[in-house]
Every structure is written in C-alpha cells, then in structure tokens.
Amino acid sequence: MNSPRLLFFLLVSLLPFTTGCTPQNSDAANSAKNVLHLFNWNNYIAPETIARFEKFCKCDLSQDYYADNEEMLAKLAAGATGYDVIVPTGNAIDTLIRQGALRPLDKSLLPNFKNINPAYLDTAFDPGNIYSVPYAYTLSLLGFNKEKIEQLGLPTDTWAIIFEPKYLEKIRGRVTVLDSQRELMAAALKYLGYSVNDTDEKHWREAADLIVRAKPYWAAFSNTSYIKELAVGNLWVAHGYSNDMFQAALDAQKTGRKFTISYSTPKEGAVLAVDSMVLHKSGKRPDLAHQFINFMLDGKNSAELTNLIGSGNPNLDALQYIQPEIANNKAIFPDPELIARLEMLRDLDRKQRRLLSRLWTEIKLR
C-alpha cells in the first residue's frame, strides 16, 4: 500500500515545477519586456492614470508597495534592486541622497517640471532638485468626530487636545496617535514651540515627558486602523495623515453615519510630508522613468490622485482639474500663513536615531 501514498507525495512535490516557475522574482520574466518598475506607497496612484500611461509609453507599469518610509529603506538595504522610480518622503530622500543611491534627473526630459509650485522646490536636502520632483504631499494633523467634539466643547485647532489631560479626560480611550517615532515627537515638539527638526536632547526629553503624561488617556498607537475606527465611531480624535482623514470622512458619509469626520491642522504647526519621485540607480529603464515623471507632472494626471484620495498637490497646473470641494479644503490646500508653520522632517544620524529609539522605548514602556 506504499505506492499510492508515495505517488501522491511525488505528484504533489512536482506541482511547483508544473506551474512553470522556479522560485524566482516573478518580475524576472518581465525584464526582457518594456516594463517600468515603480516602488510606491499603497494606493498612491489612480488606476486610470496607470492605464493611460501604459497606453502612452506602450509599456507595462509594474508596481510594488510599501506602507512606511523605513520599510522602503529597509527593503532597499535588503538588496531590492531594479526599481526605476521610487516615491519617498523628504527625509527618506535625504537618506537616499546621502547613501548615493539615486540617479540625477535629466531636466531636459522633463518639460512639465515648470508646473510645480516653487514653494515646494529647492528643499534643504535636495537644493536645485537634482534628484527629486514633488509628487504629492500630506499633512500630519488631527481628525475628529465633529459632532462629538462639539458636544464636549473641545478645541479643534490645537495639539493640546491630545496632550493636555484637562481635555483628554473627556475623551479617554477614544484617541489614537501615530505609531511613528518621528511623527509623534514632531507633534510634541511643535506643541512645545520647538522645530520638528530640533535635535537638542533636552527638548526631546521635554517632548517625551509630555507624551508620557498624555499616554494613559490614549487608546492606542495606530498608523492605519484609525481610519476605520474614526469612520465607525469608535474613535473621536485621531492623529493621522490628511489623505487618511479624507478617506475616513468619505467612508462615514457613504455608510450614512449620523456624524461627520472633520480634520484640521493645529495652529502650532505640523509636519508636511512631501513625497517626490526619484530615480534609483539600479533601475534599468531611466528613459521610461523620465517619461513617467514627465507624464505625472502634467496637471491632468497629477490631479487624478488628488481627486481619488484627497492628497495635497504641489502642481499648479493641476488645480484646474481638482474637484472644488477638495481644492477649497484648507486642510488639504493650506493658506500661505499656515504653510509657513509647516515643516518637513530631516533625517537623523545614527547617534540621534539611537537616542530617539531609546526615548521611544521609554515612551512605550512607561
């Protein structure tokens, strides 16, 4: 009676070879074809845009995703190669430039570059935009269950609502904050009146103490589940990203909830995260990459993402294509005086990273 069992086992073990693929990167077969490899955030490009680009360049767009800059950096460090275009946030671009991992842009291939709002160009980490072109931006801000917060009489324009016990005790267990070392520290530093890029250890400790004091009132640290929890009504205040809040507000509206989700940037200022397109030096098709970047710099294409997820748009040409409710939303397109109070994060060196990591561990443990 051995044969049937042995036969079954052998057949089953031959299955992988019949699926026509030895364990390899599934993109390996693509390397011969006309493929552009894009490494992008989850849900950060509209499907219609991809389809239109593929028709335009007569090529295929292959996308891989990450949910966090650190995840992307870790994967690149883990030897991930072959990406033509990546869309990191400012401080990650900082890192990549310092690591020498990027290819300079050929501006002659990017006639649409002029569409970008000069306010978003010439950043501290990439002066002259040698390596990067702005793609979209988000603000880290506070989202609210509008009716509930009004009912409780709490302020909606300041970080105090998540840091001051006198406000927190009314919303205990109904608040979440971002599970990100940099983001939460930045919010605390801003509230205390310091810059988000302040690296003075004393100021960091002040911020850490502020956080630890408020922590008992918070439900959890959450990077993504707050979207659902807000939309469902379990959470009343959430520290999160502007396009996530847009999503939550939309969800709450669509499911006919009795409350609405509103969101605004605190008056003390906040983190501005500008995601830019860069060329990784291991990419095999810089020609397609430049075509893609120029394509996305066209106002119409750029506006599609904004209309889809409510992301901020640094492209002046895109404004005419953006839906009016979004274009007029001050949380997504802030006034100039608020822009002045927004800051982009810079990267930290290894000693600072270690110190921050220890502070973060203390924050989590106390």
Contact footprint for another protein (CB under 8 A): 1-2, 5-6, 9, 12-13, 15-16, 19, 21, 23-27, 39, 42, 62, 64, 67, 70-71, 73-75, 77-81, 95, 98-99, 173, 181, 215-216, 218-221, 223-225, 227-228, 231-234, 251, 255, 347, 349-350, 353-354, 356-358, 360-362, 364-366
CA distances from 141 to 61, 177, 332, 340 (A): 33, 10, 10, 15
- Cβ distance to another protein smaller for residue 55 or 350: 350
- Cβ distance to another protein smaller for residue 32 or 118: 32
Q: Work out how close the CB of 240 gets to another protein at its nearest, in angstroms, rounded to a whole number.
A: 13
CA distances from 144 to 10, 109, 249 (A): 58, 44, 9
What is the C-alpha separation between 350 and 332, in angstroms, rounded?
A: 33
Q: Work out how close the CB of 153 gets to another protein at its nearest, in angstroms, rounded to a whole number.
A: 21
Q: Work out how close the CB of 4 gets to another protein at its nearest, in angstroms, rounded to a whole number.
A: 10
Q: Are 89 and 274 in contact (CB under 8 A)?
A: yes
Q: Work out how close the CB of 63 gets to another protein at its nearest, in angstroms, rounded to a whole number.
A: 9
- Cβ distance to another protein smaller for residue 235 or 272: 235
Contacts of residue 249, Cβ cutoff 8 Å, sequence gap at least 6: 143, 231, 260, 261, 262, 263
Phi/psi of residue 93, each to 5°? -65, -40
Q: Work out how close the CB of 8 gets to another protein at its nearest, in angstroms, rounded to a whole number.
A: 9
- Cβ distance to another protein smaller for residue 64 or 343: 64
- Cβ distance to another protein smaller for residue 12 or 32: 12
What is the CB-side half-sphere exposure of residue 70 using CA atoms within 13 A? 8
- Cβ distance to another protein smaller for residue 117 or 234: 234
Contacts of residue 229, Cβ cutoff 8 Å, sequence gap at least 6: 176, 222, 235, 238
Q: Work out how close the CB of 321 gets to another protein at its nearest, in angstroms, rounded to a whole number.
A: 27
**Would you call 292 exposed, middle or buried from its count of C-beta atoms within 10 A (0-12, 13-18, 19+)?**
buried
What is the CB-side half-sphere exposure of residue 309 using CA atoms within 13 A? 20
